[in-house]
């Protein structure tokens, strides 16, 4: 019979060995995300799909989608894409979703001359949104608010129909007044005290804001103008 001390030591070593053999949950999740991404790409190639939805997946190398000229809509939010230049060859894209990625440089947006829809919000490493402001042909935009920049660039986007502003603080809403194309506006950012410009968007049909932001009088006037209001409830825990 083994002495108790050796039995205890043997049990301890076995436990350590078994623990070392267990797969790391984070690594396992990454591998599964890569497998899903690779399968989605393969399926898209096989079917010549127009929409490549990789949201929430990962790829070993995004260059694998080089030459997929049939893709018109690319969705890579919540992925490991860190360099927009890796997909800049897809100049035929009409829709691009790159929210919540580690991309830090947006200058490659200049290659997407056919874009009509761009979602580029919650980008923690991006400090310069100038390439977004230069995109004149967009009809839908979801973007972070840079307080120092304001939203004056919207005046150069007359064809914009749907707009979602995220994070930050909007210093002045005046650029929204008399915007000719805007029909759907959602604001998830801090508003200035003067919100009167919201009453002067001629074709506005739907407005989404947090419920406490606008005073009752403004809300009543918007409703009188036929604007559908989507008021987000604020939950305090």
Residue-wise pLDDT for 76-104, tens only, equals 999 999 999 999 999 999 999 999 999 99
pTM of the complete model: 0.85
Q: For residues 10 and 173, which has the higher predicted lDDT (pLDDT)? A: 173
Which tokens go with 134? 């230069």
CA–CA distance, 41 with 59 (Å, rounded to integer)? 9
Q: For residues 231 and 222, which has the higher predicted lDDT (pLDDT)? A: 222
Residue-wise pLDDT for 28-57, tens only, equals 888 999 999 999 999 999 999 999 999 999
CA–CA distance, 163 with 208 (Å, rounded to integer)? 10
**Is the separation of the CB atoms in 122 and 99 below 8 Å?**
yes
Which tokens go with 176? 């929204």
CA 196, distance to chain mean position in Å, is 28
% of the chain exceeding 90 in pLDDT: 80
Residue-wise pLDDT for 115-164, tens only, equals 999 999 999 999 999 999 999 999 999 999 999 999 999 999 999 999 99
5, with CB counted inside 10 A (0-12, 13-18, 19+), is: exposed
């Amino acid at each position: 019979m083994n002495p108790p001390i050796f039995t205890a030591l043997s049990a301890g070593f076995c436990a350590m060995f078994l623990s070392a053999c267990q797969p790391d949950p984070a690594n396992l999740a990454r591998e599964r995300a890569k497998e899903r991404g690779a399968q989605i790409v393969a399926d898209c190639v096989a079917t010549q799909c127009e929409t490549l939805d990789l949201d929430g997946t990962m790829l070993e190398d995004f260059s694998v989608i080089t030459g997929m000229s049939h893709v018109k809509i690319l969705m890579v939010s919540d992925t490991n894409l860190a360099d927009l230049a890796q997909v800049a060859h897809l100049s035929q894209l009409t829709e691009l979703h790159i929210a919540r990625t580690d991309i830090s440089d947006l200058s490659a947006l200049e290659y997407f001359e056919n874009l009509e829809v761009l979602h580029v919000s919650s980008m923690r490493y991006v400090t310069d949104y100038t390439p977004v402001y230069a995109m004149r042909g967009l009809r839908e935009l979801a973007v972070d608010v840079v307080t120092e920049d304001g939203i004056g660039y919207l005046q150069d986007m007359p064809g914009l129909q749907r707009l979602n502003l995220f994070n930050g603080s909007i210093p002045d809403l005046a650029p929204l007044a008399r915007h000719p194309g805007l029909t759907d506006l959602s604001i998830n950012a801090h508003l200035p005290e003067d919100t009167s410009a919201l009453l002067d968007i001629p074709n506005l049909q739907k407005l989404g804001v947090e419920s406490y932001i606008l005073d009752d009088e403004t809300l009543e006037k918007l409703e009188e103008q036929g604007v559908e209001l989507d008021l987000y409830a604020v939950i305090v825990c």
